[in-house]
Chains A and B, each alone.
Chain A
Amino acid sequence: MQASRLKTAVALAAAAALAVGASGCAKSDRDDEGGSGAKSGGTFVFAGAGDPKNFDPIFNDDGESFRPIRQMYDTLVQNKPGTAELQGALAESWEHDPDGKVWTFKLRKGVKFHDGTDFNAAAVCFNFDRWFNMKGAAAQSQMIYYSDTFGGFAKNEAEGVGQPVYNKCEAKDDGTAVVTMNQYKGAFPGAFALTALSIASPEALKKYDADTVKQNGDSFEYSAFANEHPVGTGPFKFAGWDKTKGEITLERNADYWGEKAKVDKLVLKIIKDENTRKQELRAGTVQGIDFPAPADRKALAGEGYQVLDRPAFNILYLGINQKNPKLKDLRVRQAIAYALNRQQLVQTKGPGGTKVADEFMPDTVLGYAQDVQKYDYNPEKAKQLLKEAGAEKLTLNFYYPTDVSRPYMPNPQEIFTVLANDLKAVGITVNGVARPWNGGYKDDVQQFGKHDLHLLGWTGDYNDPGNFVGTFFGREKVEFGDQGMTEMFEAIAKADGTVDEAGKKAAWEQVNRDIATKWLPAVPVWHAPPAIVVTKDVKGLVASPLTDERFNTVSVG
């Protein structure tokens, strides 16, 4: 096929040449990666689903930006391939004092940034200090993960942030960095593995003015570092970002400290339409795609493609808004939970490998309780509870999003339809309200609380219950209208602040039990494993629950 395409291309080229009256022939000095898309043995082309924002890790919070960033940078601590467990990366080991406030990192020796400068404790501290001292509302508003983990900055632009978690970073010697916090947080050490907290070259950060996020009218402009000169220590170096073609090209870093990349070149293509990604895969123009449509998985596997399931590290839940007085009654919320046939939903609408969720976090996370109360499908019990609560004539506005496919919710409309029918079956009147994901859905749900029920979820960032349960239920939220569930907030804060591992585990287990029996602010629906698909001849790609795939282990052909 390639040959015939080449021939046609040449024929067309010749025709074009004649047409313009030019005499000449096609350039013959192309390398083997030219031609009409001919594959070289040393290139891996992978298609993602959206444009990255930029390549300065700290200013990003979405998977499409993190995909290239993960190849170019390293973090102090990283996730073991294919799991959410931690292992050393730029730091070979780490420890904290009994209070959980002073973190000492023993750093890997002999590591260099892509610009040839040394990675050492001073570089680590430069990064930590850079984040903490970042100025301006524009820059701070884009540091979502930093705010999540470290609370605040040296000078906060936002209101009501409270005391920052970060205090200082000292380079004891070249190989030892000591980071001191003002308080212990359960997020650590897991959060040190966040892609947003990747370590960048101080020289390059300074040279390319990385801290300047210019505000221009109602938008921001990022630095040359973020757009054209990202410099980390990772297995691939930045080679170019062709925005016209939607292609990011990375080259093998021959001096990488870890397992050196097997391919010479990595091309990340942006193809927004899931159907088109699949077709490009079949046409052989790309060797891997992310986010296949759930319906295509079987077909692709049948055609011999490798469909790699990421272990599910997410949760879809049915949110309940207690602004509605009827829903303030725990029995009504329990009735809703009993009314849902989640097992059937998983079987009919879930991607292969989807599991019914009983808690708001995957069972691989510390603090998952094996003995929580389960709400197995029981329509009779649901009706009985509604009767007891005097809510037999219940009418609910059920909001669901359109124009979106999230890893935990690939098909919101179908999920809504099934769940709404379950609720109708126990006598609840359901008004379905569809809103575009970026056209009012999240605003209506999270800001205005217009709904009674809604679908939302989360993909975890690191292995910590606070990242799941704490994010959802750790504070008052319009989303749940749960004004005044102080007992729950306090229990979560206490569990999150427990330093010793055994105590922490026990505290979180109790939180999960109480959520199921006493509070039930929402109903957990499922954990769905998102897939990644590669051609037969791709080897060494390890699917990660955190979508933390590193392509240095990948070989093609």
Chain B
Amino acid sequence: MLRVIVRRLLQLVVTLIGLSALVFVWLRNLPGGPIEALLGERATPERRALLVKALGYDQPILVQYAKFMQRLLTGDFGNSIRSGDPVTEVIGRAFPATVELAAAAMIIAIGLGVPLGYLAARHRGRLLDNLSIGGTLLGISIPIFFLGYLLKDVFTQNMHMFPPSGRISTGMDNTDITGFFVLDGLLTREFDATGDALWHLILPAITLATIPLAVVVRITRASVLDVLNEDFVRTAEAKGLRHKTIRGRHILRNALLPVVTTIGLQTGALLSGAVLTERVYNWGGLGTLIYDSISGGRDYPVLQALILLAALVFVLVNLLVDLSYAFIDPRVRVR
């Protein structure tokens, strides 16, 4: 087991180094860039030349990359071109926001999705099943932007139930420890801050949850249907085992394998969904950061770090999925 983990982590390092080179060159070959953004309407050839020199873009790309790697090895990702803040600080500020949002969305997706999928499978062909199938179609096909604005319009503009945007109210004097506002409030016992942060979290989390929720419902349903036809389920029923035991130990435990895989795969989708959701709700997380770093003038250092971070998360999640397989399915462990 340990050997597997070590091997996978080594693969990860190689992958990241290769990716960093690719990203480095690719970004610099995109049209436009930080120089264009920094100069705005006030571009003159002299000013452009000075900036190119100041930022070191006049050197060969290999030299630039070597310097970048040299700094990276000391843990220095550089600074955001626009704000001048260290990239680690910029990402460190945005990361908790997105994790908080994604976690809330996943809790909704799994908490609602697994029971719904199970019930749909058990009531196959009946109203509940048809409703959930229809619902998932809608959930997958509705554009996040549209849904975000729709929810916002109904619940914040017409019904005034929720705040329209942001993570916490202006003037809320909360102590920022971890950057997870909900958690911070609990840690510092500033429960009004926790309440306020949850209050801001509900709509964006629902918006972001729709796609993973639909996927989880579908996969759970399909997977439960497969398992229901297995011999061991019939055997268990024939043995007269209690319903609860059959559902938990026999059906769900076996049906959950593909669901776990799906949840892992959904992480990437969550991040892309977060870009749109965060934009709609002014959330200030990684999604906002990606959007701003691209459209606000190709903030190379931030983008490089974000892409590497995304790759890292992706690979680690996949590793976790594989490990949890071993946990759920004893057959994997034997291999």
* Residue ranges of A at the interface with B (Cβ–Cβ < 8 Å): 1, 5, 8-14, 16-17, 20, 22, 24-27, 30-31, 33-40, 43, 45, 50-51, 53-54, 61-62, 136-138, 140-141, 144, 147-148, 157-161, 215-222, 226-227, 243-247, 267, 269, 271-273, 275-276, 279-280, 282-283, 285-286, 403, 435-444, 446-447, 456-458
| Residue from B81, B149, B186 within 8 A of A16 (CB atoms) | B186
Contacts of B83 in A (CB 8 A): 51, 53-54
- On chain A, the residues within 8 Å of B64 by CB distance are 218
Task: Give the most central of B39, B67, B171: most A CB within 10 Å.
Answer: B171
Which one, B97, B156, B164, B292, contacts A272 given CB within 8 A? Answer: B292
| Contact across chains for B84 and A221 when beta carbons are under 8 A apart | yes
Residues of chain B contacted by A34 (CB below 8 angstroms): 171-173, 192
- Which A residues touch B30, using CB under 8 A? 439
Asked if B316 is at the interface of the complex by the 8 Å CB criterion, the answer is no
Which of the residues B36, B189, B196, B284 comes within 8 Å of A9, measured between beta carbons? B196
Give the distance in Å from the alpha carbon of A443 to the alpha carbon of B284 in the complex: 29
Q: Are B84's CB and A12's CB within 8 A?
A: no
Q: Are A25 and B50 closer than 8 Å at their CB atoms?
A: no
Verify A217–B284 contact, CB threshold 8 A.
no
Total A-B residue pairs with C-beta atoms closer than 8 Å?
258
Q: Which residues of B contact A279 (CB under 8 A)?
A: 152, 156-157, 164-165
Contact of A13 with B54 at beta-carbon distance under 8 Å, contacts A222-B84, A442-B43, A456-B41 already known: no
Contact A13 B194 (CB under 8 A): yes
Pairwise interchain contact A217-B152, C-beta atoms closer than 8 A: no
| Inter-chain contact B167/A245, CB cutoff 8 Å | yes
Q: Are A11 and B165 in contact (CB under 8 A)?
A: no
Listed from nearest, the 3 A-B pairs whose CB atoms lie closest are A37-B169, A440-B31, A13-B191
B residues within 8 A CB of A403? 295
The answer, among A9, A245, A246, for a CB contact under 8 Å with B195, is A9
| Residues of the A chain whose Cβ atoms lie less than 8 Å from the Cβ of B115 | none
Partner of A35, one of B46, B49, B84, B192: B192
Q: B residues within 8 A CB of A215?
A: 54-56
Instruction: Tell me, rounded to whole Å, the shortest Cβ–Cβ distance linking A253 to chain B.
Output: 20
Number of interface residues of B (CB under 8 A): 83
Interface pair B53/A137, CB less than 8 Å apart: yes
Residue of B nearest to A161 (CB): B46
If A27-B190, A140-B50 touch, whether A216 touches B79 (CB-CB below 8 Å) is yes
Q: Is the interface of B mostly helix, strand, loop or mixed?
A: helix
CB distance from B278 to the nearest CB of A (A): 10
Considering the complex, give the chain A residue whose CB is closest to the CB of B194: A16
Asked if A36 contacts B84 (CB within 8 A), the reply is: no
Contacts of B37 in A (CB 8 A): 438
A10-B192, A53-B83, A140-B50 are contacts. A245–B199 as well, Cβ < 8 Å? no
A158 / chain B contacts, CB cutoff of 8 Å: 46-47, 49-50
26 contacts between A and B (CB under 8 A): A8-B195, A13-B185, A26-B190, A36-B199, A51-B292, A54-B84, A141-B53, A147-B47, A160-B46, A215-B54, A216-B78, A218-B55, A221-B84, A221-B86, A244-B284, A245-B168, A245-B170, A246-B282, A269-B170, A273-B165, A273-B279, A279-B156, A279-B165, A285-B163, A435-B31, A438-B37
B51 within 8 A of A: yes
Rounded to whole Å, the gap between the CB of A483 and the closest CB of chain B is 14
What's the Cα separation between A280 and B54 when bound, in Å?
40
Which listed residue, B32, B97, B298, B301, touches A217 by the CB 8 Å rule?
B301
> B122 at the A/B interface (Cβ < 8 Å)?
no
**Are A141 and B173 also in contact (CB < 8 A) when A11-B195, A440-B36 are?**
no
- In the docked arrangement, what's the CA distance between A273 and B189, Å? 33
Q: Counting chain B CB atoms within 10 Å of each CB, which of A39, A147, A158, A269 scores highest?
A: A158
Q: How distant is A422 from chain B, measured CB to nearest CB, in Å?
A: 24
**Given A442-B39, A443-B31, A276 and B164 contact (CB-CB distance below 8 Å):** yes
Alpha-carbon gap, A259 to B286, bound state (A): 42
State whether the Cβ of B234 lies closer than 8 Å to any Cβ in chain A: no
**Least CB distance, A346 to chain B, in whole angstroms:** 22
Q: Any chain A CB within 8 A of the CB of B325?
A: no
B143 within 8 Å of A (CB atoms): no
Which one, B39, B160, B282, B284, contacts A283 given CB within 8 A?
Answer: B160
The answer for the CA separation of A227 and B76 in the assembled complex, in Å, is 20
A8: B residues at CB distance < 8 A: 195, 199
Residues of A within 8 A of B172 (CB): 34-37
Given the complex, which residues of B lie within 8 Å of A447, measured CB to CB?
A: 43, 48
A138 and B84 CA atoms in complex are apart in Å by 11
A125 to B296, CA, bound (A): 36
Give per-residue flags for B71-110: 1 if the beta carbon is below 8 A from chain A beta carbons, else 0. 1000010111111111000000100010000000000000
Which of A45, A160, A218, A275 has the most CB atoms of chain B within a 10 A radius of its CB? A218
Check B170–A220 contact: CB distance below 8 A.
no
Bound-state Cα–Cα, A221 to B87, Å: 11
Q: Are A219 and B50 in contact (CB under 8 A)?
A: no
* Across-interface contacts of B156 in A (CB, < 8 A): 279, 283
| Bound-complex Cα distance A458 to B40 (A) | 10
Beta-carbon contact of A137 and B50 below 8 Å: yes
B249 at the interface (CB under 8 A from A): no
**Cα A551 to Cα B294 with chains together (Å):** 32
What chain A residues lie within 8 Å of B185 (beta carbons)? 13, 16
Query: Would you call B164 and A61 a contact (CB within 8 A)?
Result: no
Q: Are B36 and A219 in contact (CB under 8 A)?
A: no
In the bound complex, how far is the Cα of B46 from the Cα of A267, in angstroms? Answer: 38
Contact B166 A444 (CB under 8 A): no
Measured between beta carbons, the chain B residues less than 8 angstroms from A27 are 189-192
Q: Which residues 153-209 of B have a CB within 8 angstroms of A?
A: 156-157, 160, 163-173, 176, 179, 182, 185-186, 189-192, 194-196, 198-199
Partner of A271, one of B194, B282, B292: B282
The answer to whether B282 and A272 touch across the interface, beta carbons within 8 angstroms, is yes
Measured between beta carbons, the chain B residues less than 8 angstroms from A17 are 191
How far does the Cβ of B210 sit from chain A's closest Cβ, in whole Å?
Answer: 20
For the complex, give the distance between the alpha carbons of A300 and B243 in Å.
59
Bound CA span A269–B284, Å: 12
Find out whether the CB atom of A144 lies under 8 angstroms from the CB atom of B79.
Answer: no
Scan residues 1-53 of chain B and give those whose CB is less than 8 A from a CB of chain A. Answer: 30-34, 36-37, 39-43, 46-51, 53
B300 contacts chain A at the CB level, 8 A cutoff? yes
Return the chain B residue nearest A24 by Cβ. B189
B281 within 8 A of A: yes
A477 to B251, CA, bound (A): 73
